[in-house]
Amino acid sequence: MKFPKGFQEKYEQLLGEEASSFFMSFEKEAVAGFRTNPLKEVQQTFEQSIPSMPWSYYGKVNGKSPEHVSGLLYSQEPAAQVVGQVAAPQEGMKVLDLAAAPGGKSTHLLSYLGNTGLLVSNEISKKRSKILVENIERFGARNVLVTNESAERLAKVFGGYFDMIVLDAPCSGEGMFRKDPAAMDYWTSTYPSECAMLQRDILTDAIKMLAPNGVLIYSTCTWSPEENEEIVQWLIEEHDAILEEVPFINGMVKGIGMPQVARMYPHHFMGEGQFVARLRFSGNSKNQKRKGSRSNLTAEQQQLWKEFSDKHLQTVLTGILQTFGEQLYLLPEELPDLSKLKIARNGLHLGTFKKKRFEPSFALGLALQPREVISKIELTEEQFYRYAAGETINVDPLFPNGWYQVLAAGNGLGFAKVSQGILKNYFPKGLRFR
């Protein structure tokens, strides 16, 4: 592999005797991994689990398989999975994933939260936020809000609010060179320092959003000390952060002159490049007055939702019911006023109000476990591929007409209507494939 000018010299100096092993690792194939989703029903076993990492496995995921399309499996390389594991938020926490797209770290955080507390998953890029929404929706979590904002604007709404913030910061991307050689096109000897300036700006706003005794997980997919240990040192000196030790597993190594932080090198760790640090802050002690979100349903809308949920659901969904136009969403509780923010996904999309009726959403059918729904239809693998292509499915004529949760690989794949022995196709057109 031909490296950008200055890269090899930099890491020969930093790594010394280890440099040759480091550079040889780039000739090997990138390591793939995936996680299972604890919010879903796992009906099979998987080989090659990643040691000391719950839900984590080595291997590739077929993006068109029932397991992936229904959100049971999420593809994420092993080093990137370490960030969520170091964070490991406790149930009930309020968490911000500040630079979240495409969604790997957010879905990992949601695995720990288990539909409790709140995750605000943010992505400043509008295009990337759409991908984030799709991945969050497929994962089936109910306690997540997706925003499309800068850290500066978020800080004006969420000051002193979060128990934990995860920032996988925009960086020089050295750890992705093996997986994505195109990342080398952007690298110059000054690029890491340029990235470090941006990282400081984002962190300055991020810290304002931490509650007292809040935790910041800071990570990058680069090895450059300017973006890693030097940033952590700046947080300690300028913002009174307390550095907490990261657990070292699977070949993770200690930071350069900073033994509490972790580095993942491909000649030690079976995965790509990553850096991660865990810091605790005294936080913003101001008790800000917040105008919370409230339900805005009309009496008719409340009645239509109640009729649907009483007839079809075996669970009570807790949260704030809000309409945006004719669309009904379930928002997590204890949210501040969001009216000044760009929202990419207003909580869990429950469905659409139409003339004198309520139509459930694809997202609701993904989020509910089969035991939470009264009527469901399990597709065979052959039927799944036909349904994903947009076809209708013949079912037992004895099935009464009405709404059913569609199941694939034991998990929800939206809702669909049965009419006269035909399961109509409600699989979103933008997601269909053959």
> Was 103 annotated as part of a binding site?
yes
Tally Cβ neighbours within 10 Å of residue 197: 10
Give the integer Cα–Cα distance in Å for 277 and 333: 30
DSSP state of 340: T
Query: Is 171 annotated in the active site?
Result: no
- Inter-residue contact 344 to 125 (CB < 8 Å): no
DSSP state of 186: G
> Was 99 annotated as part of a binding site?
yes
> Was 101 annotated as part of a binding site?
yes
- Please tell me the number of Cα atoms within 13 Å of 16 on its side-chain side: 2
- Beta-bridge partner residues of 277: 218
> What's the gap between Cα 48 and its chain centre?
23
> Was 159 annotated as part of a binding site?
no
> Was 87 annotated as part of a binding site?
no
CA distances from 240 to 163, 236, 257, 300 (A): 17, 5, 19, 53
> Was 100 annotated as part of a binding site?
yes
CA distances from 199 to 64, 109, 234, 259 (A): 36, 22, 11, 22
Catalytic residue among 39, 61, 144, 221: 221
> Was 389 annotated as part of a binding site?
no
- Give me the helices (H) in 226-356, please: 229-239, 299-312
> Was 257 annotated as part of a binding site?
no
Give the integer Cα–Cα distance in Å for 27 and 29: 7
> Was 79 annotated as part of a binding site?
no
Torsion, CA 106, CA 110, CA 116, CA 122, rounded to 10: 10
Helices and strands counted in the chain (H then E): 12, 22
- Please tell me the number of Cα atoms within 13 Å of 37 on its side-chain side: 32
Give the integer Cα–Cα distance in Å for 124 and 99: 7
- The residues that are catalytic are 221
Which residues does the annotation place in the binding site for S-adenosyl-L-methionine?
A: 99-105, 123, 168
Which residues does the annotation place in the binding site?
A: 99-105, 123, 168
